[in-house]
Amino acid sequence: MNLEYGLPSELQVRDRGRSVKVDGTRYTLQAPATCAAAATPAAGSCLADAAACLDNRRDATPIALEAACREGVPGMCLQLAERWREDATPSAVPDAAAHKALLDAALAGIELPAPCREGGFQDQTPDCAAALEADPALQEQPIKAAMSAMLDEAIMSLAAPSAPIVIPSGQRQQLLQLCQQVPHERFCARVAELAWESGDHLQAVQALALSCATGGEGAACVHLPALQALGPSLQPQPAVALPCGSFHADGGLMDTLEFGDAGLVGVGWNNQLRARVEDGDIRIRHDKGGDFVLRLLPGGQLLGMDTWTRYQVFSSTGEGPASCSAPKQYTVLPLPQDCPQARADGGAELCCAQGRLQGCNVLGNRLAMSGKWQQAADHYVTVCRAGVREGCENLVSAHEHSAQVDAHATLEQLCEADGSGRHVACDVLETGNWSALELGRALQKAMQEAALDEAPAPRTSNHKR
């Protein structure tokens, strides 16, 4: 029985005990030893019926999870960690005003029966319900609009930045003690992640060391020596300005950061990103729609804080410029949620025709998903021109996928037309890796041509005419 996942495994013993086979992997005896007989689990314990215990772990109380964890059942340890994380997750407080605004916008233009006006539909009054039930054809439109508004509200909540989940200190300490008593690679790694997210970095290093000592070989273990070398100085401080010069870390998604003028950061392979200081964090915007987040350490190192750079310690190499100009501040507008009916038939088209940017962006995405990148680019230009970063970045994606799209020239025109040099198009233009994009387009074209060359020639009919 796999005590982490609760799945049974067949154990095949062969060659008079000289080899065993488990889950397709064969193990050969290297050195014989005498083993004590397995102790009989106490009645009522998790190990007495491990399969049932693990099957019911999501319904178990924290006390039962902790007891089973102490028995040496890592699946229950992991479940306890997740339970306490869920308990520490703040409940989402519904924004009644925002919800009403979305619903009002979704219902705009729909002719509602008299009992459903003036908030009757939103408040689900009995008179409104009766009026809609009396005319099934009439109820379809407002119900679809309401569902679209609910979907938009859910998407907006997912896209909104989330605050770190801080597990109470006592529970974190208890998880670390369990990790020490029942060392298990994945459990201790999870304890480290939760401590890190909670801001207890020293405790996170303790748990990570236990994970790596019990067989952990992931990327996180590569960063352990640098973290341990920091000792008590692993105390992130708020930054007041961007660093300058070159920094290096062992392993990770990126191992080099070259901070230069105007907030530009080289990350290797001719890639340049833009950095800024926000609420004490050094934030570097990446092409996934989010930020790499770093914090300054007392010794001048930079500590990776987000999920992409977690555990990385960037140390100055002493190379690069000694001073850098201040970062540029660009005018960036959020993508407005001004088209709740965008997913309804004809809704996005109508919104875009009325100048509502969400509709144009949805239209662009639909065309892109259909492979119609050139048509998609026209809508992305509209969104980008308005100063919305998503439109400019989507335009670059269209450039990458279609030789008929010249995002570089378009962004250049938008930047020059603005005149201030602060339009978001200027930022996307300056940070785009255009040489890599052109190489990607050339490779894509070569692959398409090779596929055409390898296609079998059409068969010639043997029939006489």
pLDDT in tens, 164-176: 899 999 999 999 9
pLDDT at 240: 95
Higher pLDDT, 293 or 345: 293
Q: Collapsing DSSP states into helix, strand and coil, what is residue 275? A: strand
Contact 392, 289 (CB under 8 A): no
Which residues are 277's β-sheet partners? 282
- Token output for 404: 């008929």
pLDDT of residue 455: 59
Query: Between β-strands 272-278 and 11-14, what pairing exists: parallel, antiparallel or unpaired?
Result: unpaired
Helix (H, G, I), strand (E, B), or coil: what is residue 255? Answer: coil
| pLDDT per position as a tens digit, 383-414 | 999 999 999 999 999 999 998 999 999 999 99
122: number of Cβ within 10 Å: 15
Taken as a whole, the chain contains a residue count of 465
pLDDT for position 215: 80
Task: Please name the residue that has the structure tokens 């200081």.
Answer: 277
Q: Is the pLDDT of residue 94 over 70?
A: no
Supply the pLDDT for residue 95: 56
Strand partners, 259: 245, 265
Query: Residue 164: enclosing H or E segment and its boundaries?
Result: none
Burial class (CB in 10 A: 0-12, 13-18, 19+), 232: exposed
Q: List CB contacts of 314: < 8 A, sequence separation 6 or more.
A: 247, 248, 249, 257, 294, 301, 302, 303, 304
Say if residues 330 and 424 touch (Cβ distance below 8 Å).
Answer: yes
Cα angle for residues 153, 101, 379 (degrees, 5° grid)? 65
Q: What's the mean per-residue pLDDT of the chain?
A: 87
Determine the average pLDDT of the residues in 56-75.
95
> Nearest CA to 317 among 302, 327, 304, 306?
302
CB environment 151-179: b (16+ within 10 A), e (fewer): ebbeeeeeeeeeeeebbeeebbebbbebb
pLDDT at residue 193 above 70?
yes
Query: Cα–Cα distance between 266 and 174 in angstroms, integer?
Result: 42
Beta-carbon contacts of residue 426 (< 8 Å; ≥ 6 apart): 330, 411, 415, 418
Q: For residue 388, what are the β-bridge partners?
A: 333
DSSP string, 358-384: HHHHHHHHHHHHTT-HHHHHHHHHHHH
Where does the pLDDT of residue 136 fall: very low under 50, low under 70, confident under 90, or very high at 90 and above? Answer: confident
pLDDT in tens, 228-259: 999 999 999 999 999 999 999 988 778 999 99
How many CB atoms sit inside 10 A of residue 364's CB? 29
Q: With contact defined as beta carbons under 8 Å apart, do 293 and 306 qualify?
A: yes
Asked if residues 337 and 152 have their Cβ atoms less than 8 Å apart, the reply is yes
Q: Which of 261, 264, 375 is nearest to 324 (CA)?
A: 261
Residue with tokens 């030789």: 403
Phi and psi for 451 in degrees, rounded to 5? Answer: -65, -35
Residue 200 Cα to chain centre, angstroms: 22
Angle at 411 between CA 263 and CA 339, to 5 degrees: 100
Q: Which of 145-149, 352-356, 458-462 has the highest mean pLDDT?
A: 352-356
Q: Find the helix or strand (DSSP H, E) in which 296 lies.
A: strand 291-296
Work out the average pLDDT over 276-285. Answer: 95
Hey, what amino acid is at 461?
S
Separation between Cα atoms, residue 19 and residue 38, nearest integer Å: 20
Write down the residue that tokens 């960037």 correspond to.
Answer: 314
